[in-house]
Amino acid sequence: MKVIKNPERILIIRLSAIGDVVDVLPALRCLRSNFPKSRISWLVEDKASAILSGLPDIDDIIVFPRKKWQREILKAKKTVRTLSDILSFYRRLRRERYDLVLDFQGNLKSGIMDLLTGTKNRVGFGKGFSKEFNYLFTKYRVYPQNKREHRIDKNLSLLKGIGFNAKFQNPEFPVSRPDQEYISHFIDENNNRSVPLIIVNPCTSEYGSYKRWSTLNYAKLVDMILEKHDVNVIFSWGPGELEIVNEIVAYMKQKALVSCNTTIKQLIELMRRADLYIGGDTGPLHIASTLCIPTVAIFGPKDPMLYGPYNENAAVISKDLPCSPCRDRACSDPECLTTILPEEVFQAVNQLMNKVLIHKTFNQNIKT
């Protein structure tokens, strides 16, 4: 299926969330390799937009402020302004006259965005590989060979399905010098640079709390690590998550550090300094994986085959249960998480420690 030979204007649609946006970045790199002179735009929701800023492969970021509009549309003083903003947004999508629109999200929301562009060459996933009748909004539909494949591979298959060359390439995460200096100052003030640095991210958003391993388990795990290994451990956190990390530290016998307040780009820079990453199924896990950091991933209800680290130096801890995988956010007995013991995760950490030391040496050689 060959859609268009040399598109001058390309629009990527992947609205959210951060981890899902990260999983499209290898496909973005392939697009740029195929079309170095094309203008590539990305339509994304406000919450996930920051991770795209400064990427050299993107010419334009179009922010869809869904939550802002939802908050303000019914407020008497803001209804008219919001409706005006929505109309301006629609006009902008139409005005761009994209030669090619690629819908990596595959749901009703992204399908409507496809349609709003007015573009003929709308590409998405076919029936069975998309949700909420999304396939009805696309003209060209791609059917990946395997339903149970990693989301990065699925995204690459969208390009392959329309005749483009698509091989995995590690994405870039540019970070400004002030953000680099901010993280350097934090690390220099609080850590011994001669030993490996482990980043532990125990948090999820409230919406994703059903994927969160318990704070007590994280406390036990990090105590075990610090008792056996000469390492630095930093707990990272995002907006609204500091209380979770403080609770873990309060449970602990050993001393670990809570990270400074960070933006998403500062968090990337902090993670770039890490020699090992430990965490659950969240956006930072996907970032750690694409940064090729040795990773221990703790997976509960979702399928790690689809959403796990795309990284050879990774260990996934999960339970194969009759009810797994699932999306039951209100599960009364989440055995998939409660039956994962700190000792199991600790064993995975120990098995990766040789690779951690190699990663540490490699990073030191780069800096010297």
Q: Please provide the DSSP assignment of 258-292 as one string.
A: EPPP--HHHHHHHHHT-SEEEEESSHHHHHHHHTT
Task: Check residue 92 and give its pLDDT.
Answer: 95
How far does Cα 106 stand from its chain's mean position?
A: 17
Predicted local distance difference test score (pLDDT) of residue 366:
64
Q: What is the pLDDT of residue 361?
A: 76
Q: Which residue has the tokens 């194969």?
A: 320
Q: What is the pLDDT of residue 358?
A: 78
How far apart are the C-alpha atoms of 35 and 340, rounded to whole Å?
46
Task: Give the integer Cα–Cα distance in Å for 154 and 306.
Answer: 9
Q: What is the largest CA-CA distance in the chain?
A: 62
For CA atoms 216, 289, 104, 28, the dihedral sign is positive
**C-beta of residue 18 within 8 angstroms of C-beta of residue 205:** no
Minimal CA–CA distance to 176: which of 4, 53, 76? 53
pLDDT at 367: 62
Q: Are 107 and 135 in contact (CB under 8 A)?
A: no
Q: Are 293 and 359 in contact (CB under 8 A)?
A: yes
Long-range contacts of 92-96 (CB under 8 A, 24+ apart): 92/62, 93/43, 93/62, 93/117, 93/118, 94/118, 96/9, 96/11, 96/41
- What pLDDT score was predicted for residue 74? 85
- CA distances, 40 to each of 99, 118, 306 (Å): 10, 17, 27
Q: Give 322: exposed, middle or buried? Use CB within 10 Å, 0-12, 13-18, 19+.
A: exposed
**Cis peptide bond N-terminal to 325, omega within 30:** yes
Burial class (CB in 10 A: 0-12, 13-18, 19+), 167: exposed
Query: What is the dihedral sign for C-alpha 43, 267, 19, 108?
Result: negative
Domains, the chain, in order of start with CATH, read 9-160 (3.40.50.2000), 177-367 (3.40.50.2000)
Residues 6+ apart with CB under 8 A from 290: 22, 25, 26, 170, 171, 173, 310, 311
Q: Which residues pair with 101 in a beta bridge?
A: 11, 122
Locus of tokens 């500091």: 242
Give the closest residue to 257 by CA, choosing from 230, 226, 235: 235
C-alpha to C-alpha distance for 61 and 52, rounded to whole angstroms = 8
Strand order in the sheet with 257-258: 257-258, 232-235, 197-201, 276-280, 295-298, 314-317
What pLDDT was estimated at residue 179?
98
What is the residue-level pLDDT of the chain in tens, covering all 368 positions?
Answer: 667 788 999 999 999 999 999 999 999 999 999 999 999 999 999 999 999 999 999 999 999 999 899 999 888 789 999 999 999 999 999 999 999 999 999 999 999 999 999 999 999 999 999 999 999 999 999 999 998 999 999 999 999 999 998 999 999 899 999 999 999 999 999 888 889 999 999 999 888 999 999 999 999 999 999 999 999 999 999 999 999 999 999 999 999 999 999 999 999 999 999 999 999 999 999 999 999 999 999 999 999 999 999 998 999 999 999 999 998 998 989 999 999 999 999 999 999 998 887 777 767 766 65
pTM given for the model:
0.94
Instruction: Confirm if 122 and 101 have CB atoms less than 8 A apart.
Output: yes
- Tell how many helices (H) and how many strands (E) occur in the chain: 15, 12
Q: Dig out the tokens for 194 from the structure.
A: 């001669």
Give bridge partners of residue 258 from the DSSP assignment: 235
